Amino acid sequence: MRRTFLTRLRINGSYYVLGALLLLLGAPLYQWLWLLPHGYGEALTAASRGQLAIYLLWLQRHLWSFALYRLLQMAAFALTLSLPFTLFRIIVAQEVLGREEEAEEGTSAEPEGAGADREERADGRQAAAKATDTGAGEKPLPQTAEELLAVPWRGKGFAVIAAWSGMLGILLLVLGNLASTVYQVGVARGFSALALPSPSFALVVEICSLVANTGGGLLLALATLLFGFIIARSGLQLWPPLWVALGYGAILLALFLIGSAVQVALAPASGQAFLTTPAFLLFALWTLWLGLILVRLRPAPAS
């Protein structure tokens, strides 16, 4: 891999570490040390029972505290927005390097004279491909690791699906929580003890919850499942042991995210389910693991 690409991986890894720490420590500590002592747990319990007036009154008195808590969560996910495509580029580079190593091993094992025949056949295929591309007016397809990394959207297969679904899933998590926060704060600012909650309040909050935790969670689960499958499929033949373990961890994370998404879909009024917190904490741990791997990457020694 080029040094510039390696530097980019380290920078992205630092973002993932920061986002994971916010999700793993920042938001939970803020909730436990500040929100819960000020009645946040009781307000959530009242909201789950349909007593929205109690929840809105608490929200009116703690607007900025609630907004900061949601902002910490959204910032944590936003810092990991590039993670799916970063992992996609790593998989592409690793696959290319693996194919190059296999080709070199195959070349060294060829009998005398076979290498010349293979080179002639390769030259013929390249000439035919160039003639076809020139006639069609298209650009030649990337042939090296650097070219594949430069135009990753030209790839095909499970890795592309995982990259796009992961990015869309994180976007839905951020945008769904943002819409829910803005709407709840806007309603709570004009709410009074003598007023009644709007009938549409619960519906809008449920829709935002479905978008974020169900839609975003399922897309993120699909991404982690496919990434884990791709890495685990190649195993130790292509990946270091730490990466193989990371792949199996992604599969486990996908199961938690799917369970959380299904539970929220069955009961959207609560905003989250029993598996939602464990799923997001596991996502934070997995992201922290990946971020630390990227931050500690070093260029290969020159031969």
Q: Residue 14's CB: how many other CB atoms inside 10 A?
A: 15
pLDDT tier for residue 30 given thresholds of 50, 70 and 90 = very high
Report DSSP state, residue 109: T
* pLDDT given at position 285: 97
Q: Residue 157's CB: how many other CB atoms inside 10 A?
A: 12
Average pLDDT over residues 226-237: 92
CA distance 37 to 18: 26
Q: What is the pLDDT of residues 37-89, one digit of tens each?
A: 999 999 988 888 888 999 999 999 999 999 999 999 999 999 999 999 999 99
Average pLDDT over residues 137-147: 42
Q: What is the pLDDT of residues 144-190, one digit of tens each?
A: 444 444 444 444 588 999 999 999 999 999 999 999 999 999 999 98
CA distance 14 to 10: 6
- Residue 132, pLDDT > 80, answer no
Is the pTM for the entire model greater than 0.85? no
* pLDDT given at position 234: 87
Angle value at C-alpha 228, between 224 and 230, nearest 5 degrees: 120
C-beta separation of 282 from 256 below 8 A: yes
- Residue 275, pLDDT > 80, answer yes
Cα distance from N-terminal residue to C-terminal residue, the chain? 14
Q: Which of 55, 44, 33, 107 is nearest to 272 (CA)?
A: 44
Higher-confidence position of 256 and 136: 256
Encode 29-95 in three state secondary structure.
HHHHHHHHHHCHHHHHHHHHCCCHHHHHHHHHHCHHHHHHHHHHHHHHHHCCCCHHHHHHHHHHHHH
DSSP helix/strand/coil, 230: helix
Report DSSP state, residue 138: -
* pLDDT given at position 81: 97
Q: What is the pLDDT of residues 5-23, one digit of tens each?
A: 888 999 999 999 999 999 9
- Residue 299, pLDDT > 70, answer yes
